[in-house]
Structure 1
């Protein structure tokens, strides 16, 4: 009895798995700050009426700016799949470390790139930054699959990925203030890059790919984690064989790729274009623009914890099944924002408050997808979660690349509300279609190809301890 009580203690309090979760939260915060800094900085870089004329302004039209904003994703989509495979075979710690470190250095050098090579060199720098950050999502999923017990998976997943919004909020809110200060718009890059290097230093000393690689973890917590996820050593070639054919013939995984792509189209179109929309359509200056641009992501960050709490209550009371829970939260996260985007299409300067309110809904409620499709990779295959995320995020971020480019093509007159309306309608349609198809064809059961060497082992695998069709 004493032994059982001792083994249960690691599951009831804070442990090393929560420390790893905190570092993943911080790492994704830094990564998103490095991604979105250009969204506000480019407004200051091209503002002829800048409050700080000491720093050079560039005459880049909307199409050029959209080209620059999308260049990050040209590299980002390339490294998704390789990063997932590297994380699966060699561990996720080092790809994240090198990615953030190199990206941070290049961010600090961005003002010199603009001065020496204009928009082309900025695009080249952002391309390489995208290559570096391609490891973040696949590695985060790979780490969660090793560190998060099934009962804590939704909660820890939400906490980690809420760092995306936290970094976005901090960067958008601070960028306008920094651009108006003595540092000017170059300070946006210096500060965000500096924080990235600080995180990399801490991650080098305290990060670990698996519980067995963290020397300071207690034997009790390690045993608790490994037993709960059935983490057993098996060096057979078949265990490490990646079932590529099964991936791409799996209807639930194809549906997951589709919803991921649809969500990313709308999310990144808004994230990269909100500062320009607020500046040109709602007539806000760079400082208030940055602060209000951060508001929707502040709400998104806070709501992620609200949805997580609701999910915990429903789970403990066993009121709904895992499948229903995933679909319910995903529908909240995509269909409510779709309705808000349609309303935003009719906003004008005279209805600024309404436009901001709809924008808050369109972005803020998105956080429900952390309990929907975004954790579904681990549901389908804990063993290949990083690779699955690499595949789906690779396809999805082609949309990240195309979204800003599409805005550049559609919005030829950035002060024309009718052209922005088309942008919002397209994003709303993507949200609606993506969720509909995933709710019909998506699954939450561990797939047979999770353990390709033996489909029978799946029945003994610790991941199947929760039946998706029974109440959670």
Structure 2
């Protein structure tokens, strides 16, 4: 595994100077690709039951050679939602553990445990019926609750300030990629000779294989990676230090200094962070209303059931995955031509990600029974797809505010946002008493559009991209920002790098 990493580093990383490192492939890009694959695996494990449950409860719909379970709609709802019962619980602990022990390990165990449990799903259904499957899905949620905070902690170490939004978007687009693949192929797997149990076996085995590769080829921070070159390490550290020094108006301690105590009181009294909680929660209200309730709306108002149509149900996620790259390209293009300030970029893309879906929701409210199914699906696809712009907006803002506590901040906001994800569908149930009443559905869309509007408005008015004072240790050990990470010796920033600058760092150099 290390040899593969060395080959990647040596074969692609041709650098003329540390300042040119940002335009070349390096170990940081390999790390982000592994994180992309990890999130793809995690989301495939999350949604595999959504398609498999159709085959599990109606063997005539797929391969009749496998077991069928008599689960009514109420039981199905419990099974599909049980994942999030555990998922909410471990968000904040996951961020805390990633901060103290390293994101490599929390990400590793989160995917590995979830993958092993996925393989056990058919066995649990056979011996314990739905109650045991429900407990298993809740346990999978517990394990995956650590993944998003771990990813943010990981990216706060590996993503240079100038590449932060781009690399965060690349990594998190893996979530949509995994969803698209799983929703698209699960139906075919269930109908084949493999049967519905193979949906869980295949996704679980892929997750275990990814975990092995991740364990040997990843590192929680650049300074811990055995194959990173000195030039790339300096580029990552100096880029982040320069950005934070500019934001804070002072020289900061090294990015990879030992973890210091989490300032809980200052975090929860920070106006920019409270704004981030609100915008994340409001975004989830609209986003999960779209994903969970629009299929019901299309079925009862337009007479089309897309929930049991794998490729069609995957279309919004496909749009979101593809548009995430479009927004990355747009962001790079704008920054190249106009050198857009960071705060303008964050708020511009967040506006696209929340106000475009807001307008699509309002449009959906005016499609009555017998209306255009194609128009409804187009609006749904646009609404979900445009949400990808938030990856360059509020979803990367945790790292802007506090790189040292990015995972902890993500754990807090994602916990609150996922509680909202549970409340939103329940609220729909209170509003829509007649699922064939288009007027009641219009109220649902107006409420969701309101949350999209107000959430982004708060981010425009009160959002901040500067590193917060509580991100730094109270009494940092004096250290030159240009001090070598390994030898402790000062680095002359004006000197030319040696001929071996691109070679992996020799860990045996004595201080």
TM-score band by shorter chain is: 0.7 to 0.9
Counterpart for residue 361 of structure 1: 382
Structure 2: gaps of 5 or more residues: 1-14, 242-252, 483-511
**Structure-2 change in CA distance of 1:279 and 1:183 (3 Å):** farther
The answer to whether residue 433 in structure 2 is matched with residue 429 in structure 1 is: no
Q: What is the distance in 2 between the residues matched to 1:423 and 1:29?
A: 31
Counterpart for residue 242 of structure 1: 262
Please state which structure has a larger fraction of its residues in helix.
1
Q: How far 1:409 moved relative to its partner?
A: 6.0
Q: How far 1:87 moved relative to its partner?
A: 1.2
TM-score normalised according to structure 1 size: 0.88
Q: What is the distance in 2 between the residues matched to 1:43 and 1:422?
A: 30
Q: What is the distance in 2 between the residues matched to 1:207 and 1:382?
A: 19
**Structure-2 change in CA distance of 1:279 and 1:118 (3 Å):** farther
Q: What is the distance in 1 between the residues matched to 2:183 and 2:379?
A: 18
Counterpart for residue 382 of structure 1: 403
Q: Which residue of 55, 58, 63 corresponds with 1:52? A: 63
Counterpart for residue 309 of structure 1: 329
Q: Which residue of 168, 181, 185 corresponds with 1:157? A: 168
Q: How far 1:270 moved relative to its partner?
A: 3.5
Counterpart for residue 181 of structure 1: 192
Question: Which secondary structure state, in structure 1, belongs to the residue aligned with residue 61 of structure 2?
Answer: coil
Question: Which secondary structure state, in structure 1, belongs to the residue aligned with residue 79 of structure 2?
Answer: helix
Q: How far 1:35 moved relative to its partner?
A: 1.1
Q: Which residue of 471, 493, 501 corresponds with 1:450? A: 471
Counterpart for residue 324 of structure 1: 344
Question: Which secondary structure state, in structure 2, belongs to the residue aligned with residue 317 of structure 1?
Answer: helix
Structure 1: gaps of 5 or more residues: 462-472
**Higher relative contact order (CA closer than 8 Å, sequence separation 6+):** 1
The answer to whether residue 241 in structure 2 is matched with residue 232 in structure 1 is: no
- State whether residues 176 and 320 of structure 2, in contact with CA within 8 Å, keep that contact through their aligned partners in structure 1: yes
**Structure-2 change in CA distance of 1:171 and 1:233 (3 Å):** closer
The answer to whether residue 410 in structure 2 is matched with residue 399 in structure 1 is: no
- State whether residues 63 and 405 of structure 1, in contact with CA within 8 Å, keep that contact through their aligned partners in structure 2: no
**Structure-2 change in CA distance of 1:85 and 1:164 (3 Å):** same
**Structure-2 change in CA distance of 1:104 and 1:411 (3 Å):** farther
Larger radius of gyration: 2
- State whether residues 295 and 305 of structure 2, in contact with CA within 8 Å, keep that contact through their aligned partners in structure 1: no
Q: Which residue of 259, 267, 276 corresponds with 2:279? A: 259
RMSD of the TM alignment (CA)?
Answer: 3.0
Q: What is the distance in 1 between the residues matched to 2:429 and 2:201?
A: 28
The answer to whether residue 220 in structure 2 is matched with residue 209 in structure 1 is: yes
Q: Which residue of 85, 99, 122 corresponds with 1:111? A: 122
CA deviation string 1:1-21 (max 9, x = no partner)? xxx953234322000000000
Q: What is the distance in 2 between the residues matched to 1:268 and 1:146?
A: 30
- State whether residues 275 and 290 of structure 1, in contact with CA within 8 Å, keep that contact through their aligned partners in structure 2: no
- State whether residues 104 and 196 of structure 1, in contact with CA within 8 Å, keep that contact through their aligned partners in structure 2: yes
**Structure-2 change in CA distance of 1:115 and 1:413 (3 Å):** farther
**Structure-2 change in CA distance of 1:32 and 1:335 (3 Å):** same
- State whether residues 279 and 289 of structure 1, in contact with CA within 8 Å, keep that contact through their aligned partners in structure 2: no
TM-score normalised according to structure 2 size: 0.82
